[in-house]
Structure 1
Amino acid sequence: MSLLILHRNPLEPFPYDRWLSGYEGDVVILAARDRIEAAGEEVPAGALGRARLEVLDDFHDEALVARRALELAAEHGVRDLIAHHEADVLLAATLRERLGLPGSWSADVLPFRDKALMKQRAMLGGIEVAPHAVPRTRADASEFAARHGFPLVLKDRAGYNSIGLRIMRDAGELEDGLAAAYGAGSPRDDLLIEAYVPGRMCHVDGLVVDGRTVLVWASQYQYDLASYGTDPGARVDLTLDPGDPLTGRLTELTDRILAALRSPGGRLRDHAFHAEIFHTPDDRLVLCEIACRTGGGKVRELLEVAFGLNIGEYATRAHLGLPMPALEPTLRGGPRPEPARMAGQVLLMKRPGLVRAVPEVPTEPWVERFWLYARPGEVIPPAAGSADFLTVTIASAPSRAECERRLRSLGARLEEQTRIETGQTVEVL
């Protein structure tokens, strides 16, 4: 019995030795070199704790990853396969299907990866989404703009981390976006255009075990995800208080979204989820998208501070049928847990230039975790996505209001202590 892990992430946030406590089989990790090195980590040689580690230079070549995964599956007698990154969940499902392995197969995962199918299923379930279309040509996109006006959003149907997402606010930006998207004019069906939804983006994260949602909580970004390349300031993300009227509305809506996207009798029974939902100025909740994996960035660690368990670890253990002690009362039929305290994170994004100074490690007792992804003297590129951070700090507090006050004060200090000199030749580290 062996487990194969497709790993397109840094290594530090995924301590598989601890997560797999009690698993008696062999473990093989097929990892992406660029994601490890981009986090400033050393690439281990051949092993990661108890696991055999194999590193690929090009994880973006899906055919190469699939071929090597199948070879490793045959070589090691793989009986389980998992993937935590959004770019790999459909490939993992396809490989399970080909090998006859337990867990979700491609038809189960596709509604969570194809944003057009996702919105179609959601609408059939009575869930509000933005007006949208799949524009095969520039003319299709221009016609949509004429009907719905500006702003508009153009993005990849299978995108993640806001990579490649364009917000087009007028006709000039529309023409620039369509010129970049369609080039010589060949039709394509991998894009989604949608009307812009105003308001604050909320995210709802949780865990499903044997088809039942056993953990769920709502948080709210205090910034625009898509501004990762232009926002030099501190970006705050916070859990919502139990008594906040939005909390129950968001979790109830997420239950409905999951029900709408799951197929009756499907194989998607044990998984984490990360939903992004707009709260509009006129108090509507509008689905942006949902994924059947944990939230990216430091959402796992943020919720670990709030709940005392890591959703990534528990999603892994649920898939393998391993004990999940912190959720035992809920698994026996009890209510879903509530957070022991509020938690939040303050982020600074990478921006291009020579790093002259970085923040000091915060010492406040309410600071739970701190990460720094650059050193003085380095020349760094711009942020490549909404999870390409310069620094991340996670803090806790008895209430959301106090947590936000702490994070904003800390964020201002981190901004002051950071100095990046622009105009330098940028080399990817």
Structure 2
Amino acid sequence: MILVLISPRNAGLPFAEWLPEESGQLLAVTTQEVAAGPGFADVERVTDYTDDASVLAAARRMAERHTVTRVLALAEVDVERAARLRAELGLPGQLAASARAYRDKVVMKELAAAGGVAVPPFAAVASAADVAAFMAAHPGPVVVKPRGGSGSTSVAVLHDPSQITQVADRVTGGDYEVEGYVTGRMCHVDALHVQGEPVVCVPSVYTDGGCLSHWTDSGNGSWTLPASDPLYERLVGETWRLVGALPAAPALFVHAEFFVTDSGEVVLCEIAGRVGGTPIPAMLHAVLGLDPRHLWARIECGLPVDLDAVRAHAEAAPLVANFGLPPRDGRIVRLPSQAPDGARDFTVLAHLGEDWGGARYAGRKSGDFIATWLVTADDAEELLALVDKTSAQTEAGFGWEPSDRPADPEEATR
């Protein structure tokens, strides 16, 4: 039986539809608020899905009652949990050393550099003094971020040592890293590697601002590079070089991010051993011919997939761009009445009256969107013009008013 770890961010995915051979025999660990959906024979629920101990204990209880043959994890938070469970239960799939390298940004960069991949200067930090020492040795802006984080959560860009006090409390304990700030185009590459062989690799370029655009309330997305672009083959090559530098797994679906500097150097930002977050799956669906989470779920569960059909669809696909609008600091009082002209897969992810203010706004992630959509075209110029037009139309469709939420998260409990 297949044990599925269902993060709240993956609620609603049609696992029984994706894994029909196992429908009625699926097992799940999730939260009290998430409906596992049809096809599940048993469900264990935890109060706090961010608590590793609780999730692992629930999974172990499940394994005591059933014969688990595979563990499926789609969310970043579950990558290492799943690897640990596989080791304990003697199951195939990615194990701890590989999972750690795809999550821990310090281990990741150490291995990448040893494998010939360019990385920014970086260091593990456990105190404000560590950050200060790094900034003294590496003048210029730096980025401070969690070693195992995702979605640009808790990331800070420091331009001057006087700003270190902003991160002093959070870095204490050693779960953060600091690295030099790299300027240039930001790209991502989504790639599938099965049984030691590359299957498909999709290089894309982020729109201006990339995954930090939400800091300025700007929409963001990315668009697939044409194979004729000189950067295409370079990004493909660096991605496979990076996969080769990190500990192997029987199969990997990776989401890598690179900077391309003004001088043309390709520098690693980070890589994750999972499908990219919203709205990248929709874009990859258009490229690959099926939802990449569907594709990955079947591979991870040892079920048959027509990989030749995936390759063929990717080679024939038009250029695709995904785009999403982040929330504002306020309450939604108007929603778009229709999809913008030229958009496909237009999805409004918010509801009338939803309040994104206060602490919720302060804690927003790069993957938190109120609407997402795709556009397609035969050339990059037409594609990017469609992105601009549809973004303006969607933005105009939303209305906001000031929030009633407290700005200080502690005020909510006082």
When normalised by structure 2's length, the TM-score is 0.91
Cα deviation, residue 157, structure 1: 0.8
1:375 paired residue number: 351
Aligned residue in 1 for 2:181: 196
Aligned residue identity for 2:94: S
| Match runs of 1:124-273 below 5 Å | 124-182=114-172, 188-225=173-210, 227-263=212-248, 268-273=249-254
Distance 1:336 1:372 in 2: 28
Gaps of 5+ in 2: 410-414
What does residue range 349-364 of structure 1 map to in structure 2 within 5 Å? 349-362=326-339, 364=341
Range moving further from structure 2, 399-408 or 98-107: 399-408
Distance verdict in 2 for CA 1:350–1:32, change over 3 Å: farther
CA distance in 2, matches of 1:341, 1:426: 46
Contact 1:207–1:272 (8 Å) recurs in 2: yes
User: In 1, distance between residues paired with 2:266 and 2:170?
Assistant: 32
User: Which AA in structure 2 matches 1:117?
Assistant: V
Q: Report the structure, 1 or 2, having the larger helix content.
A: 2
TM-score w.r.t. structure 1 length? 0.88
1:213 Cα deviation (Å)?
Answer: 1.5
CA distance in 2 between partners of 1:58 and 1:151 (Å): 36
Give the unaligned 5+ runs of structure 1: 35-42, 183-187
1:321-340 alignment runs, 5 A limit = 321-325=302-306, 327-328=307-308, 337-340=314-317
Residue number in structure 1 paired with 2:284: 303
Give the distance between the partners of 1:363 and 1:176, measured in 2 at CA: 40
Q: Does residue 318 in structure 1 map to residue 299 in structure 2?
A: yes
Q: Distance in 2 between matches of 1:225 and 1:56?
A: 34
The residue aligned with 1:86 is 76
Q: How many residues align?
A: 403
What is the aligned-residue RMSD (CA, Å)? 2.2
1:87 Cα deviation after fit:
1.0
Alignment of 1:10-159 (within 5 A): 10-11=9-10, 14-23=13-22, 26-33=25-32, 43-44=34-35, 48-52=37-41, 53-159=43-149
Query: Is residue 400 of structure 2 the alignment partner of residue 420 of structure 1?
Result: yes
Output the CA distance in 2 between the equivalents of 1:335 and 1:345: 21
Distance (whole Å) between structure 1 residues aligned to residue 402 and residue 163 of structure 2: 26
Separation of aligned partners in 1, 2:40 and 2:287? 30
Displacement of 1:180: 4.6
Please give the per-residue CA displacement for 1:213-258, whole angstroms capped at 9, x wherever unaligned: 2011101111334535532233231111121111111011100000
Displacement of 1:175 in angstroms is 2.8
Does structure 1 retain, via aligned residues, the 8 Å contact 2:319–2:377?
yes
Q: Which residue of 1 aligns with 2:412?
A: none
Identity %: 30
| Equivalence for 1:346 | 323
In 1, Cα distance between equivalents of 2:389 and 2:321: 13
Comparing 300-309 with 11-20, greater Cα deviation is found at 11-20
Change over 3 Å in CA distance of 1:413–1:157 after alignment to 2: same
